[in-house]
Chain A
Amino acid sequence: MIRVVLPQHLRTLARVGEEVEVRVEGLATQRAVLDALEAGYPVLRGTIRGHTNERRRPFVRFFACEQDLSHESPDAPLPEAVVQGVEPLLIVGAMAGG
């Protein structure tokens, strides 16, 4: 299982705690994790990436293992520590005022 940490507003929207777990079949990538996340929590569709173009929303970032994965290809493999469930994939609302 892959651990995903959501930002506060999306936890409220999805009515979940800080961390959720998703199961990914095959290669664990950002796209695969987001597909599984949105399948489990349909209310999150459109809030992290675009409905149709699947592009990451500009003020959403993906961190893991103290690295910024936001600009990685959505089809790049996630770090092994994330795949093994040792480290979570952090979905973060960028610091941008508000």
Chain B
Amino acid sequence: MSRVRVLVGTRKGAFVLTADGKRKSWDVSGPHFAGWEIYHLKGSPLDPDRLYASQTSGWFGQVIQRSNDGGKSWEPTGNEFTYDGVPGTHQWYDGTPHPWEFQRVWHLEPSLFDADTIYAGVEDAALFRSTDGGGSWQELSGLRCHGTGRHWQPGAGGMCLHTIVQDPSDAKRLYVAISAAGAFRTDDAGASWRPINRGLRSQGIPDPDAEVGHCVHRIAMHRSRPGVLFMQKHWDVMRSDDAGEAWVEVSGNLPTDFGFPIDVHAHEPETIYVVPIKSDSEHFPPEGKLRVYRSRTGGNEWEPLTKGLPQRDCYVNVLRDAMAVDSLDSCGVYFGTTGGQVYASADAGDTWAPIVRDLPAVLSVEAQTLP
């Protein structure tokens, strides 16, 4: 029977949650790297027992950990992230130029095509690639240096490259998203990049439909339709049917179109999930009710999913990397909260139950479906 492994990054360590295909009874391993912020963990799609973790600390900086046995043991690997050339400046919160300074790795994305290749999205925003399993890292500086980089500015969480999406049909095409710059695409394996933000409108910037400056929170894709992208923006849920050339809003009947994560059902490419959050200052669910919203029509028409989720006095947040799906026949959906709960649904969101309730604040959730 297939198994599921859920990788959870928290403010104070990593946890590995495992279950059989029924997803009723879970084993909890951790905390790994106790006391450190674990921004993200992810396994290689080509070698699922090879896991990577971004371990970071305000005191001791960045560490990258690698496991070759599914998280039973870990070894530190390369942690040197040096910008290519003279980094220059981006905009600071007050609009003044600010030097590019490496802070941390937000997101790790193992390659779909080569088990030793992995991408890292970092703050201050840049994309790095390792081709030796995380031993050494080189910046794909065509992104930061393509021309708009000096105009990028940080969002509230810092100026982070938080989303990396690979086109499974084209090894040379990648999408990334940066807060608060927007979405970008390369068609030549990272050598050159261009903004893909046409159709986005953001009220918090001087020109609401500017080429860059948009606070994109997350992008998701179904691997069977790599030209279709779904986006949760600071405000607005968006979709593109032409690989990001143009975006249209699909917020529809959501109670609020602010939020962080967005994900796609493993087997239904028009079924998507978001977690509406009340506003950009009140980072909690509307009315104190934690609701995942599902659209089976690729947006616009949304239904609340509430069974098993707290429907009163709930004021947690769900961060951008804290939702994932498995690929079992009945698609599992998972998300973690800033209150330390990790919820699982084994029936595509119809019903939910907590796997754990009292972890540190959850920063990221990834799901692996294992044979």
Residues of A at the B interface (CB closer than 8 Å) are 7, 9-10, 13, 43, 45-48, 51-52, 57, 59-60, 93-94, 96, 98
B135 to chain A, nearest CB (A): 11
In the bound complex, CA of A51 to CA of B62 (Å): 11
B235 to chain A, nearest CB (A): 32
Q: A7 CA to B82 CA in the complex, in Å? A: 26
Chain B residues with a Cβ closer than 8 Å to the other chain, count: 13
Residues of A within 8 A of B59 (CB): 7, 9, 57, 59-60, 93-94, 96, 98
Chain B residue, CB-CB nearest to A44: B60
Give A31 to B231 CA distance when docked, in angstroms: 48
Q: Quick one: which of A10, A13, A51, A59 contacts B82, CB cutoff 8 A?
A: A51
Residues of A within 8 A of B58 (CB): 59, 96, 98
Q: A10–B60 contact, CB under 8 A?
A: yes
Closest to A94 in B: B59
Segment 216-246 of B: residues with Cβ below 8 Å from A: none
Known A9-B35, A9-B36; contact A45-B60, beta-carbon cutoff 8 A: no
Q: Which residue of B lies closest to A93 (CB)?
A: B59
Would you list which residues of chain B between 78 and 97 have a CB under 8 Å from chain A? 79-80, 82
Q: Would you give the shortest CB distance from A41 to chain B, in whole angstroms?
A: 10
Those of B271-313 within 8 Å (CB) of chain A: none
- With beta carbons under 8 angstroms apart, the residue of A47, A51, A52, A96 that contacts B60 is A47
How many angstroms from the CA of A13 to the CA of B33 in the assembled complex? 9
List chain A residues, Cβ under 8 A from B80. Answer: 45-46, 51
Give the chain B neighbours of A96 by CB distance below 8 A.
58-59
What are 17 inter-chain pairs, A to B, with CB distance below 8 A?
A: A7-B60, A9-B36, A9-B57, A13-B76, A43-B76, A45-B80, A47-B60, A47-B61, A47-B63, A47-B79, A51-B82, A57-B59, A57-B60, A57-B61, A59-B59, A96-B58, A96-B59
Note all chain B residues with C-beta closer than 8 A to A48.
60
When chains A and B are docked, how far (Å) is the Cα of A24 from the Cα of B237? 59
| Cβ contacts under 8 Å, B79 to chain A | 45-47
Closest to A52 in B: B82
In the complex, A79 Cα to B59 Cα: how many Å?
25
**Residues from chain A with Cβ under 8 Å of B62 in the complex:** 46
Contact between B82 and A93, CB atoms less than 8 A apart: no
**B contact residues around A52 at 8 Å (CB):** 82
Q: Which residues of chain B come closer than 8 Å to A60, judged between CB atoms?
A: 59-60
Closest Cβ neighbor of A43 among chain B residues: B76
Structural contact, B61 and A46, CB atoms closer than 8 A: yes
What is the CB-to-nearest-CB distance from B14 to chain A, in angstroms, rounded to a whole number? 14
Q: How far is the CA of A43 from the CA of B35 in the complex (A)?
A: 18
- Distance between A68 CB and nearest chain B CB, rounded to angstroms: 16
CB distance from A50 to the nearest CB of B (A): 8
Interface string of B21-44 (1 = CB under 8 A from A): 000000000000001100000000
Complex interface: chain A residues within 8 A of B61 (CB): 46-47, 57
> What's the nearest-Cβ distance from chain A to residue B111, in Å?
24
Nearest B residue to A49 by beta-carbon distance? B61
CA distance A45 to B63 in the complex (A): 10
Q: How far is the CA of A45 from the CA of B58 in the complex (A)?
A: 15
Q: Closest Cβ of chain A: how far from B126's Cβ, in Å?
A: 15
Q: Give Cα A93 to B76, complex, Å.
A: 20
- The distance in angstroms between the C-alpha atoms of A52 and B86, with both chains bound, is 13
Please measure, in the bound complex, the distance between the C-alpha atom of A46 and the C-alpha atom of B62, giving whole angstroms: 7
Considering the chains assembled together, what is the distance between the CA atoms of A45 and B57 in angstroms?
A: 14
In the complex, the chain B residue whose C-beta lies closest to that of A48 is B60
Interchain nearest-CB distance for A47 vs B (Å): 4
Cβ of B13 to closest chain A Cβ, rounded Å: 11
Chain B residues positioned under 8 Å from A13 (CB to CB): 60, 63, 76
* Cβ distance A15 to chain B, nearest Cβ, rounded Å: 10
List the B side residues contacting A98 at CB < 8 Å. 35, 58-59
Least distance between A84 CB and chain B CB atoms (Å): 29
